[in-house]
Amino acid sequence: MTDNSFAGPMSMIKINGSKIKLLREQQGLTQLYLATAVEVTTDTISRWENRRYPSIKRDNGLKLAEALNVQLEDLLEETSENTAKTPHSGIPPNVTPPEIIHSKFTQKRLFFIVLGTIVCIAMTFIWIFVHSSQPLLFSAKRILPAHCIDGQPFPVLIEVTGAPDVATAIIIKESLPMNGTIHTTSPKVTTGGLRNNQIRWLKKITRAGFFAYVVSVSGKDAVDFSFTGTAAISHDSESSIDGKNTIAVGQHHWADSNKDNIISDDEILAVYDLYSEITDINLNIDLIEEIWLGSEYSWDSARATYKIID
């Protein structure tokens, strides 16, 4: 791409730092994640996003695009040359507009358009029939780590399914242990929604929804703490929140599910799969990635900090 690259001892391209930052934040990725994928430092990622390095190696650009799940062209700086192209730049000069229109609407293409329309209509009727003939199975499930560390925050996720196909109000009530401390919630709740160690959400959802919060508990090792809650879309539909309802206090990070003092690839992928779409609660992903990048970790209870061995 001649308008975004230039000759030199190595192939270089001009990037748009603002686009890179926007794509990273939209996908809930950290600068450390990009730095690891591209094999550069986090300072380098920061300089790229702040346009302090407007030109980078093409190889790094390809790695960056792959990490962000986009094409390399999506990261390049726009220029006056590539924005000034007309819609007809690829039309041979001896082809007239009527001939172009005729070539786009041949009988074969019209056949497939009609066929596709019929299939879409049929699938719509099948979907309406299946969903109208089955009752709604409204339910709520709590996803809770198996363990945590005394006083250290961990996430709780409530998944709601089976709500009506139109926007419907739902009430979620979640009660925490008496020695629990709420740090953040998603969606945000007002001050009145947080009282007596209980969270109350009132929100409209369609079909399904997620509610989450970050909490910490204080207690001795091996002590189990209980969580209870209810969900309702009407007076008759109120039911208890299913799923896990207890968590044990120990010496291992909540993301270390098998308690082997490392965060494996599978464990960090599980964290991203569960919480990547919930961007307004602080999971301290940077710490989880640091433990993942290290060979092992341990909890220093005297200093209330993690010791990470590279």
| pLDDT (tens digit per residue) in 114-141 | 888 888 898 887 877 655 544 458 899 9
> Lowest mean pLDDT: which of 102-106, 228-232, 234-238?
102-106
pLDDT (0 to 100) of residue 263: 96
Beta-carbon neighbour count of residue 78 at 10 Å? 12
Residue 8 has pLDDT above 50, yes or no: no
pLDDT recorded at residue 52: 82
pLDDT of residue 299: 96
Residue 159 confidence (pLDDT):
93
Q: What does pTM read for this prediction?
A: 0.57
Do the Cβ atoms of 192 and 225 come closer than 8 Å?
no
Q: For residue 254, what pLDDT is reported?
A: 97
Return the higher-pLDDT residue of 216 and 29: 216
pLDDT score, position 108: 65
What pLDDT sits at residue 132? 52
Higher pLDDT, 2 or 252: 252
Which range (107-116, 130-139, 201-210, 211-220) has the least confidence? Answer: 130-139
Q: What is the pLDDT of residues 54-84, one digit of tens each?
A: 788 899 889 999 989 999 888 888 765 444 4
Is pLDDT of 101 > 80?
A: no
Instruction: Choose from 28-37, 99-108, 127-136, 262-271 the range with maximum mean pLDDT.
Output: 262-271
pLDDT: which is higher, 257 or 235: 257
Q: What is the mean pLDDT of the chain?
A: 83
Q: Give the tens place of pLDDT for each residue, 139-182.
A: 999 999 999 999 999 999 999 998 888 988 999 999 999 889 99
pLDDT the model gives residue 276: 81
279 touches 155 (CB < 8 A):
no
Statement: residue 91 has pLDDT above 70? no
Structure confidence at residue 297 (pLDDT)? 97
